[in-house]
Structure formats: structure tokens, C-alpha cells
Amino acid sequence: MCKDGFGYGVGEEEEDEEEEDSEEDISAANDNDQPRILLLGLRRSGKSSIQKVVFHKMPPSETLFLESTNKIYKDDISSSSFVNFQIWDFPGQVDFFDPTFDYEMIFRGTGALIFVIDAQDDYMEALGRLHLTVSRAYRINPHINFEVFVHKVDGLSDDHKIETQRDIHQRANDDLMDAGLDRLHLSFYLTSIYDHSIFEAFSKVVQKLIPQLPTLENLLNIFISNSGIEKAFLFDVLSKIYVATDSSPVDMQSYELCCDMIDVVIDISCIYGAYDDDSLAIIKMNNTTVLYLKEVTKFLALAIHEVFELTQVRRNCLEDHLDSPKAPVLNGTPRGLV
């Protein structure tokens, strides 16, 4: 990754030094009003890999060499006014119920709790741990968003993925019902660090913590309805998390295209040292799609999935319309374009 100008606030080395005394760290962080996201799950479920791949551009294959986390690793994600939070990666063996562990303080300051379950492994123990963790956290702070990543699904067939998610969902909710916690809501995501699913899932987790989200969505709706653009995403370019999008449904393919474009633009910018306030990139695909990336603030960019040659499309439509009594049907033409 390009070192100059791209990177989140706290460097790993500083981070390591800070971590020397995790108890002190925890009390200091209590004063910090950034929303906190906790990453929890059994050992080797993939917590550190998720955090490294999404926020530090680590290539997924390099996570094979990650050592087991044995202290809480705190990561400040403060690239902009919208994407501003802390991630706490917990060691798999952490004992929340150790009386010396101030879990009350931790849960009180938590916005989202992500519980990672390795879907390639036997998940019964993980389900027990999930239940114990969320029920304890909910009693302390019912406002936490509880998110379950059914992770490492790259190794599973499509049918197996769906079946695994259904089974985990069912068992986890049954356990909550039995414990009288039917108001505790769990959200489930199928994730893998080997494709875009982990970025998509993290986007949704982060969006729930952004109070300005409805306003941003409205602004993007106004933007697309006045520009003939099909889909607009407001991205945090470093993590490829989308902070907001207009209210039309997200299709994975557009999101993946935009993510790939961000990678290309950042790589080229790094080579030439030129990503600044005026940065703008346009990629024309061979299927009439245009991708347009415009920087909004230093680390936020608007990626737009636009139809190529608007004038030509309009002209074709008009001709079709004149030739045939039926309204023209344009494959993949965005709403509001013609």
C-alpha cells in the first residue's frame, strides 16, 4: 500500500506500544466518544484477518501468517468526519467473565458488536459463546447493534452457505427465545476476506453507526434523480466501505466494480503521487457503463455508476419509440434516464 498520504490515524507500531498495558488503554478509551466496534469470536475465527484486510489493505493470502492475538488490539479509524470509529479486536481466548475484566465499561461504550463464526468449522461452541456474549452485553447496553459474521464462506458451495446461515440463525434465535431475550436482534451476514462480501458487510455495520445517514441518502437520491445517474455510492476510499448510497437496491456487481475502480485509482495515484482535492477518474466499460470517481473530502469519494453516451441512448430510444408503438425496453437502463 502507498505509504504517503493514505492510512488511518494510528500506526501499527504505535498501536503495539500502546497495547503494552491493555487495562490502562481500556480506561483511557472510555473517555473517547468515538463509536466503538468490537470484534469477537472464537480463536482463529478470522477477526484479525477481517480488520487487516478491510482497514489496512492486507492481501487476504497474507493473513495465513497472522499470529494469534493475545491482547486487545485497538484500531482508530478516523479518516473523515463520517467514518470515525474505533475497532477493538479481541483475542479469541479472552474471558469476558473474568471478574478483573471491566466488561461493563466496554459494553457501555460500544456501538456495534461483531461476532465472527468460522463457517468452515463445527460452530456449536461458537454458538454457545455468541449467546453468552450477546446476552451479557445486551443486559448492560441494549442499544448495541449485534452483528454476526458467518465467516470463511469462500470454502462452501452456494447451497451450503445458505443452509449454514439458516441453521446458525435458527439456533442463535432459539437460544435467545429460551432465555427470554426475544427483543435482542441479531443481523447475519455471509462473509469472506477473499471477495467483496466482507467490505459490503462492514459497510452495513458502519452505516448503522452514522447519525447523518438518512440525510446523506436523501442528498444522494436528489443527486441521482437530477443527473441521470444510475447508482451513487459515497465511499471511504481507504477501506472501500460505502458510507451511504441512494435508496435504490445495491447490486453486488456495481459495488464490486466501484471497489475495483477505487483500487485502480489509488494504485495509480500512489505511483504518481497525485490524489488530491481535484482528483477525478472516469472509466468507460464496453457495455455502456461509465464509472466516475470524484473526491469529496480527503478520504471520501463519490463513485458513480453511470450510463455511457447519454445522448446516444436518448437518441436510440426516441428512434425506437417512433418505430414501434411499444415503449422502448433498454436492458439495464437506469430509472429516470429516459
Ligand X SMILES: Nc1nc2c(ncn2[C@@H]2O[C@H](COP(=O)(O)OP(=O)(O)OP(=O)(O)O)[C@@H](O)[C@H]2O)c(=O)[nH]1
Report if residue 254 touches ligand X, rule: CB under 6 A. Answer: no
Neighbours of 257 (CB within 10 A): 19
Report if residue 193 touches ligand X, rule: CB under 6 A. Answer: yes
Return the half-sphere exposure (C-beta side, CA atoms, 13 A cut-off) of residue 233.
29
Applying the rule CB under 6 A, the residues between 216 and 245 that interact with ligand X are none
Report if residue 154 touches ligand X, rule: CB under 6 A. Answer: yes
In 1-58, where does DSSP find H-type helix?
12-18, 22-30, 47-56
Which residues lie below 8 Å from residue 76, measured CB to CB, with a gap of 6+?
8, 9, 10, 34, 86
Instruction: Give the interface segment with ligand X, choosing from 15-23, 36-44, 227-235, 325-333 (CB under 6 A).
Output: 36-44
Report if residue 56 touches ligand X, rule: CB under 6 A. Answer: no
- Mark 133-152 with x for binding to ligand X (rule: CB under 6 A) and - for no binding: ------------------xx
Among 8, 25, 45, 232, binds ligand X (CB under 6 A): 45
Give the C-alpha separation, 67 to 48, whole Å: 9
Among 5, 155, 214, 336, binds ligand X (CB under 6 A): 155
Among 35, 41, 109, 111, binds ligand X (CB under 6 A): 41
Please identify which residue in the block is written with the cell numbers 441512494.
246
Residue 52: all three cell numbers together: 487487516
Report if residue 328 touches ligand X, rule: CB under 6 A. Answer: no
Q: CA Rg, the chain, in Å?
A: 22
Give the C-alpha separation, 98 to 101, whole Å: 5
Give the C-alpha separation, 156 to 120, whole Å: 7
| Residue 286 C-beta: closest distance to ligand X, Å | 31
Among 27, 68, 170, 218, binds ligand X (CB under 6 A): 68
Q: How many residues bind ligand X (CB under 6 A)?
A: 22
Binding site for ligand X (CB under 6 A): 41, 43-49, 63-64, 66, 68-69, 91-92, 151-152, 154-155, 192-194
